[in-house]
Amino acid sequence: MKRLSIVLLSLALTACAATPTPLPDRQLRVEASPERALEVGLDALVERGFVIRLADVELGRIDAVRAARPGYVVHYKVREEATGTWIVLSGRRGTGAIEPSRFDPLLDDIAARLEAAQ
């Protein structure tokens, strides 16, 4: 009986560890096409020292890592809705989530670049 309890507890803990929790994100609506929002986001990330691991227009997604900070990963996504194009930023540093407010300077820069291009 004790062995069964240990096995069940192990299975329960494994299930909890295997279920990823979504990262908290920061969102911004912009007046630009998703493609343009991706292009500007890509430029801004590279200028800030990020190495692009994935940039896919079809997926509307960029995954980047900070060259100077191993384990610092940012996910940049765009989605088009009736209300406009939304930029969604999230990330993690090591095993912990990056606080969404840390993305505000990046989002401000991207918004200013998109506005200037209009």
pLDDT of residue 3: 67
pTM of the model: 0.80
Per-residue pLDDT tens digits for 82-117: 989 999 999 999 889 999 999 999 999 999 999 987
The full 3-state SS of 59-88, as one line of letters, equals CCEEEEEECCCCCEEEEEEEEEECCEEEEE
With 90 as the cut, is the pLDDT of residue 1 above it?
Answer: no
Per-residue pLDDT tens digits for 48-86: 999 999 999 999 999 999 988 778 999 999 999 998 999
* Architecture, CATH, for domain 22-116: 2-Layer Sandwich (3.30)
With 70 as the cut, is the pLDDT of residue 17 above it?
Answer: no
* Distances from the Cα of 95 to the Cα of 21, 48, 60, 100, angstroms: 11, 22, 24, 15
Map out the domains of the chain as residue ranges: 22-116
